[in-house]
């Protein structure tokens, strides 16, 4: 992969021609992205569109087949190990340990991110009440309702105060009230200057994003604000926009 001069002091996420192939199959096909700091950026697409593969490349977990990217000021590939210290990643399948308590999960992930026990205690004391988990610190993560698990997974991902948060379908399977609470936490992070890169299957959640991209067959086929996408497709809802762009 050739590396062009990507600005380390510029956008939080920048990709040029980012591509991932698995044999003859192209999962992500030369996508271009530029996401400024503090933006909540929606990443939409049907299953198999390439969203998760793209996120895993941007997190430094998959090596691109072609193209280049810079996240939080670090180049994907050459600086992926340094990059990982400055991002948070919440996968579709939460990486929580069900047989550990809430507090033990926090301590474990704090150690993974290189925080000292003292710093973990400080961050946990500030973070768990905001997540409404302070009273559940001794409870096994596996016994938590799904909405609480999601909040805990988010808390573990942002414990080290990352510059960019990647959230891959973080609200799947929970009720609207739990989803609204989760988005309140996302807004808090954005207001603090954290860039939030989020995939979702809920089209109403796309309305909460500053801008939204839509992927189909590995390519970005639309990118604009929710209002701009609705104007450009003459549709009234993001559900209708998605169907118009991707097809039913």
CATH number, domain containing residue 144: 3.40.50.300
Residue 24: exposure state from Cβ atoms within 10 A (0-12, 13-18, ≥19): exposed
From the CA atom positions of the chain, what is the Rg in Å? 18
Locate the DSSP E strands across the chain. 13-22, 25-35, 40-45, 66-71, 74-75, 87-90, 164-168, 195-199, 211-216, 219-224
Which tokens go with 11?
A: 């956008």
Given this model, what pLDDT does residue 30 score? Answer: 96
Given this model, what pLDDT does residue 114 score? Answer: 86
103 close to 127: Cβ distance less than 8 angstroms: no
Domain contains 194: yes
Domain contains 6: no
Residue 197 neighbours by CB distance under 10 Å: 26
Domain contains 119: yes
Domain contains 3: no
Instruction: State the residue range of the domain holding 201.
Output: 13-246
The pTM (predicted TM-score) of the whole model is 0.89
Given this model, what pLDDT does residue 4 score? Answer: 44
Our count of domains for the chain comes to: 1
Low-confidence ranges of the chain (pLDDT < 70): 1-9, 93-94, 248
End-to-end CA distance of the chain: 36
Given this model, what pLDDT does residue 26 score? Answer: 96
Domain contains 1: no
Given this model, what pLDDT does residue 5 score? Answer: 43
List all residues 6 or more positions away from 110 whose beta carbon is below 8 Å from its beta carbon.
117, 119, 120, 123, 124, 159, 160
């Amino acid at each position: 992969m050739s590396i062009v001069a990507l600005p380390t002091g510029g956008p939080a996420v920048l990709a040029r021609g980012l591509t991932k192939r698995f044999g003859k199959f192209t999962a992500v096909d030369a996508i271009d992205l530029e996401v400024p700091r503090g933006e909540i950026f929606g990443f939409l697409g049907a299953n198999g569109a390439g969203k998760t593969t793209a996120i895993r490349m941007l997190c430094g977990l998959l090596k691109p087949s072609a193209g280049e990217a810079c996240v939080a000021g670090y180049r994907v590939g050459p600086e992926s190990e340094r990059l990982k210290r400055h991002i948070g990643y919440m996968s579709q399948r939460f990486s929580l340990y069900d047989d550990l308590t809430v507090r033990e999960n926090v301590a474990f992930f704090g150690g993974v991110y290189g925080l000292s026990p003292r710093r973990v205690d400080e961050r946990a004391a500030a973070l768990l009440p905001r997540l409404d988990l302070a009273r559940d610190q001794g409870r096994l993560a596996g016994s938590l309702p799904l909405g609480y698990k999601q909040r805990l997974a988010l808390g573990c991902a942002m414990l080290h105060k990352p510059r960019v948060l990647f959230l891959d379908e973080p609200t799947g399977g929970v009720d609207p009230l739990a989803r609204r609470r989760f988005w309140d936490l996302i807004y808090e992070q954005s207001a603090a200057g954290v860039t939030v890169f989020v995939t979702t299957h809920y089209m109403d959640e796309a309305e909460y994003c500053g801008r939204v991209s839509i992927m189909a067959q590995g390519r970005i086929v639309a990118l604009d604000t929710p209002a701009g996408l609705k104007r450009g497709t003459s549709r009234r809802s993001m559900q209708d926009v998605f169907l118009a762009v991707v097809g039913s």
